[in-house]
Every structure is written in C-alpha cells, then in structure tokens.
Amino acid sequence: MNPSHIEHIGIAVKNLEESIKFYEEVLGLKCYAIEEVKDQKVKTAFFKVGQTKIELLESTDSNGPIGKFIEKKGEGIHHIAFAVKNINEKLEELSNKGVRLIDQHPRNGAEGLDIAFLHPKSTLGVLTEICEDKAK
C-alpha cells in the first residue's frame, strides 16, 4: 500500500467543545477547522501536529458510527488514517490481499479527501482508513 505518512488519527469524544479546550489549553495545539460530515454523522475538529492531524470526532446522532463506538468503548482512539496515492488501485490491491473492505469505493471525507475504511477484523483490531488528497 506504501502510505506516505499518517494523515490523521481519529479520536472519538463526547463533547467537542470541551475536548478542543483540552487540546488547546493543555496540549497547546490550535484547532484550525471545525467541520460537520453529514455522511458519517459527526462533527470534527482538526489540529495539526507536523504533517499529521488529530481529528476529534463528536457524534451528531447516537445511531451513527461514533455514537455506537462511544456507547460500546467510551472515548478514545477510533481510527488511524494513512495517506495514499491512487486510492482506487490501493483498495483493489488490499482486497486482492484478502483485506476486508468496509468501503468498496472511496467516499467523501472531511477536508475534501477521498476516504475508505478497512475492516478492523482484517487489520489487527485497528479501524484503518486510507485517504487521498486529490488536490495534492
């Protein structure tokens, strides 16, 4: 798959406002964007640490993926996202290697990225996202 870097780490939080405060006041990072991704029923806040981002995810619907995650596991790391080129080819390559795909085809993620999730059952228990910034 040859990812170029970790694009972001997704962290599920109960309260976005309070979590932003922690990241800004305690960790000293700056929230540079807040975005709602309707498709995934989340509101996200972004921080940059070098070229990697922290993506805080607050559920906007208890039946959405983050709502369910928090109900089951509580707050914490939700997924890791790797930056790749040619996401369609990468999905095909992964599928050929026996990786179970949650998304057969890329969909729209936050910040205009094309994203796709791999099933944690075939990625050692870590929900893994691959994403491509077509603008780059």
| 106 contacts 87 by C-beta, under 8 angstroms | yes
Cα distance between residue 42 and residue 53, in whole Å: 17
Minimum gap (Å) between residue 55 Cβ and Zn ion = 5
Please say which residue, 6 or 99, places its beta carbon nearer to Zn ion.
Answer: 6
Minimum gap (Å) between residue 41 Cβ and Zn ion = 13
Minimum gap (Å) between residue 8 Cβ and Zn ion = 6
| 126 contacts 102 by C-beta, under 8 angstroms | no
Which residues share a beta bridge with 55?
10, 46
Please say which residue, 58 or 129, places its beta carbon nearer to Zn ion.
Answer: 129
Residue carrying the six token digits 């640490």: 49
**Token output for 106:** 């890329």
Per CB under 5 A, residues contacting Zn ion are: 10, 81, 129
Minimum gap (Å) between residue 98 Cβ and Zn ion = 23
Please say which residue, 98 or 124, places its beta carbon nearer to Zn ion.
Answer: 124
Please say which residue, 20 or 42, places its beta carbon nearer to Zn ion.
Answer: 42
Q: CB-side exposure of 48: number of CA atoms within 13 Å? A: 5
